[in-house]
Chain A
Amino acid sequence: MAFYFAQFLTGLASASSLFLVAAGLSIIFGVTRIVNFAHGSLFMLGAFIAYSVSQHTSFWLAVTMAAIAVGTIGWCMERGVLRKLYAAPELFQLVATFGLVLIIQDAALWIWGPMDLLGPRAPGLEGVVRIFGEPIPEYDLFLITIGLVVLAATWWTFKRTRFGILVRAATEDPEMLQALGVKPSTLFQATFFIGAALAGLGGALELPRQPANLMMDLNIIAEVFVVVVIGGMGSIIGAFLAALLISQLNAFGILIFPEITLVAAFAAMAVVLIFKPYGLMGKLSIATPNAVEIAPPMTFGRIGSFAGVSLMIVLVALPFFAPSFVVVLLSDIFIFALFAAGLHYMMGTGGLISFGHAAFFGLGAYGAALVVKGFGVSMPMALVAAPVLAGFGAIIIGWFAIRLSGVYLAMLTLAAAQILWSTAIQWQSVTGGDDGILGIWPSTWATDTTAFYYLALALCSTTICALIYLSLGQHGLLLRATRDAAPRAAALGINVKARQWLAIIIAGVSAGLAGGIFVFSKGSVFPDVLAIPNSVDALVMVLLGGLHAPVGPIIGAGVFALLEDGLSRLPYWRALLGITIVIVAIYAPNGLAGVFSKLRVLRTKST
C-alpha cells in the first residue's frame, strides 16, 4: 500500500512539469489559435539555460532566470515568425513552429553540445521524507506544490486580472477583443511570453530530476499533445486533470506493462476521444481557419504531360548509362516520392493534416521485416504484407482522426506515430528494440542494384500515378468537396467522415508500400523509420513540391533528396531544413510548383 502511495506521489510530481508545459501551450492556443509545436523545445531550453546559469549562481536564481529567458525567446518567436502567419491556413502555422523545433534543436546542440548535462540538486530539498515508511524525495513534494501553485495562480489571473479577462475573452470570442478596444498584437506577445515562460519554468524545474538533453523537446511534446487532446484545448483545468491522468498512468503503467507505457497514454486518449471528441473540458466549437489553403489542383496541361512522359523515358533508360550510386539514390527518391504522395493525397486534396505520416511508413517497414523474419516469406509476399499492415494502422488511427480536424488532427497523428516509435524501441522481443531487424534482403532476382531500381520504379510510379489519377478524378473531386465545405458536402449526400477515412487509409497503404520497399533497399529496419524526423521529411517534401500540385511530391522528393545528399553532411543540416520550412511556410506556400506556375504566368504575360 505504502509503495503504491509513493508511486502515486511520483506520478503527481511528473504531472507538474507536464502541466506547466501543457498549460502554456493551451493558453497560447486559446489566444492566438496557434498550436506551438516548438513548445517542447522551449521546455528543453529551460533546462539547458537553468543548467548554464546554475554553474555560476544559485539553483533557484537559475530557475527564475531560465523562465524569464525562455519567455523572452517565446516573445521573439512571436515577433519574428508567428505573427506573419496569423492569417495563414493552420497547416503553415503548424509547419512553421515545427521548423522552429529543428532550428532550436541544432542551436542547443551548437551551444551545449551533444552530452547530457547533469544539473545540481535543489538546495534545501536534497533529502527524502518518509511517508508510510517509503522514501519520498523532498523535491517531488516541492514539484507537486508548484503544480498546484501555478494552477491556483493561473486560475486567479484568469478570474481577477484585466489580462486574464482579456485572454478569456480572446479565447472564447476573438472578435470581442476589437470591441474591447484592445490591440491584439500586444495581447499575443504577452501571451507568448507567459506561455513560453511556463514551459521554461517546467524545463528548469526538471533539472534536478533528469539531466538536460537534446531529446527532451520531442519527448515532452508528444505527451503534452496527449494531455491537451484529453484535457481540451484552451482549458487550464482540463490540462491539469489530463496531466494528472497521464502521469498516473505512466507511474502505474510501468508496474503493469513496463514494456509499453506510452500505449496506456494512447489508450486513455482513445477512450476520451470516443466519448468527448473535444476533450474533457474542451469547448465543442472553436472556430479555426482552414486547415489548408483552398485552391484548385495545379496542373501543367500539355507541358506537364510531356514532361511526365519524358521523365519516365529517361528514368527507364537511365541505368544503362548512369553510375550505380545515381541508380541507388534514385531508387530511394522513388520510395520517398511514394511516401510523400500518400501524404499529399490526404493533406492536399483532403485537407487532413498529418504530422505522423511516418507511422504508416514504419508500419509497412516493420510489417515487411517481421513477416520475413517470423514466417520466412519471400519479398513479394512481404511487399503485400507491408501495405496491408499499414492499412490496418490507418483504419485504426483514421477512425480517431476523422472525429477531429485541423490542429487536433495534427496532434493526434504526431502522438500516434510517437507511440508506435516508442513501442518499436521498447518491445524488444518482437522489434529488436534499438538494434532493429537486420538481414531483410530482396529475392535473388532483385538483389542486383539495377533490378531493384526497376522494381522500385515500377511499384512507386504505378502507385503514384494511381494517386494522381484518384486526386484528379471523381474520387478527388468528392474529397475536395469535403475539404472545401464539409457542411455543404454533407447536405448534398456525401458521407464526409467516410470519404476522409478512406483518404487516410489510401495514404496509409501508399506509405506502407513505400516502407516495405525501403526495408528491402536497406536490408534492415530501425525505430527511426517511425520517428518524428521521418514524418517531417514527408511534410517537407510535400510542401517543397507544392501542396496543390499533384506532381508536387515527385518534385519535392527529388529536390529534397538532392538537398539532403548535398547538405546533410553539414553539421547543422537540421537547422537549415528548419529555416527552409519556415521560409516556405511564410513566403512560398505553394512550393516549387507554385513558383514554377508563377514564372509561367509571367512569361505568358510578357510575350
Chain B
Amino acid sequence: MTIALEVKSLSKNFGGLKAIDDMSFSLDDGGFTALIGPNGAGKTTCFNLLSGVLEPSAGGMLLHGQSITSMPTHLRARQGMGRTFQIAATFRSMTVLENIEVALIAAKQDKFDATALLDELGIAEHTDHIITELAYGDIKRVELAMALASMPSVLLLDEPTAGMGANERLSIMELIARLARVRGTTVLFTEHDMDSVFGFAERILVMDQGQLIADGSPEDIRSNTHVQQIYLGDEATLDA
C-alpha cells in the first residue's frame, strides 16, 4: 500500500492558541478516513493547512511523496488535492452548471459527464439555476460536485452533509464512498454526525485541542476510553 498523504509534526498557532499541536499521521492510497473531534478541536484548521489556505507554524506534509509544505493552494490542487469548505463556497454569480464548468476548466477535464454527476447528486433540476436560488443543502451538493469533477486523488471534505436530513446524509455519504472506491480516491472527511462516521469510515482519527488523541478502526475508537471521555455527553451517539 503506498501512502497518499503524509503529515509530519504539523503545528499551527494563532497568537497564543495552539490550534494544531504537533500532529502526525498518514493516509494510505484509496483509504476512506474520518477526522472527528469536538467543536474547536482544529479539524478545519488542519484542512486549511493541508490545502494551503494557512501556512503551518511548524512541520510539513507530503502529497504522494512530494513535499507540498510551501506550495500555494492552486498548485496543490493541480497535484491532486481537492477539498470542500465547512461553509460551502461556490461561485454565486454562476449557474450550477457554470460552477462545475469552472472546476472542469481548472482541472483540464474535458470528457467529464457533468450532467450525470448532477443527476446522481440529485440536483439535476437546478442545472441552469443561479447558485443563490438554491437551498443550502443543495449548495453543499454543488460544492461537492465541483470537488468531485476536478478528479482529485486526495479529497478533503469538511462536514460534507451538514445541513441535510438523515436520509439525505446517508445517500450522499453512499455516493461519495462509491465514487471514491471506483476512482481510487483517498478521502479524509470531518463530520459531527456519528452515523456517517461509524457507518462509512474505514479508519477514524480523533482530535482534541489541536492534538491527535486516537487513531484506529471504528471498533477501536468506539471502545477507546479517552475518546469516550471527550465525547462524554455524546456517549449515546458513539454507541449508536
Partner-B contacts on A (CB < 8 A)? 294-297, 474, 477-478, 480-481, 483-485, 487-496
Contacts and interface: CB of A to CB of B under 8 A. Distances in A.
Nearest to A293: B93
B89 A487 contact: yes
B130 interface: yes
20 contacts: A296-B93, A296-B94, A296-B95, A477-B105, A480-B91, A484-B91, A484-B93, A485-B90, A487-B53, A487-B85, A488-B90, A489-B106, A490-B53, A491-B51, A491-B74, A491-B147, A492-B77, A492-B106, A492-B146, A494-B106
Nearest to A495: B74
Interface in B145-193: 146-147, 150
Nearest to A477: B102
Nearest to A493: B77
B150 A492 contact: yes
A247 B107 CA distance: 50
B83 A489 contact: no
Contacts of B146: 488, 492
Contacts of B85: 487-488, 491
Contacts of B83: 491
A491 B73 contact: yes
B103 interface: yes
B102 A478 contact: yes
A454 to B, nearest CB: 37
Contact of B98 (A477, A487, A489, A490): A477
Nearest to B131: A484
Nearest to A475: B105
Contact of B94 (A474, A480, A487, A496): A480
A493 B150 contact: yes
A475 to B, nearest CB: 10
Nearest to B89: A488
Contacts of B107: 492-493
Contact of A478 (B73, B106, B143, B150): B106
From B94, B101, B102, name the one whose CB has the most chain A CB atoms within 10 angstroms: B102
A506 B30 CA distance: 43
Nearest to B99: A481
B40 interface: no
Interface residues of B, number: 31
Contacts of A294: 92-93
A481 B77 CA distance: 15
Contact of B82 (A295, A491, A494): A491
Given A296-B130, A477-B105, A478-B105, A493 B93 contact: no
A296 B73 CA distance: 26
Nearest to B82: A491
B51 A481 contact: no
Contacts of A481: 91, 94, 102, 106
Contacts of A485: 89-92
Given A478-B105, A481-B102, A490 B92 contact: no
Contact of B74 (A296, A480, A484, A490): A490
Nearest to B73: A490
A484 B89 CA distance: 9
Nearest to B156: A491
B181 to A, nearest CB: 23
B52 to A, nearest CB: 8
Nearest to B104: A492
Contacts of B65: none
A484 B83 CA distance: 17
B78 interface: yes
Given A481-B106, A491-B83, A494-B74, 8 more contacts: A296-B94, A477-B94, A481-B91, A488-B89, A490-B53, A491-B82, A492-B82, A492-B150
A487 B103 CA distance: 13
A549 to B, nearest CB: 13
From A294, A296, A487, A492, name the one whose CB has the most chain B CB atoms within 10 angstroms: A492
A95 B190 CA distance: 43
Interface string B116-159: 00000000000000100000000000010011001000000000
From B75, B83, B106, B146, name the one whose CB has the most chain A CB atoms within 10 angstroms: B106
B94 A493 contact: no
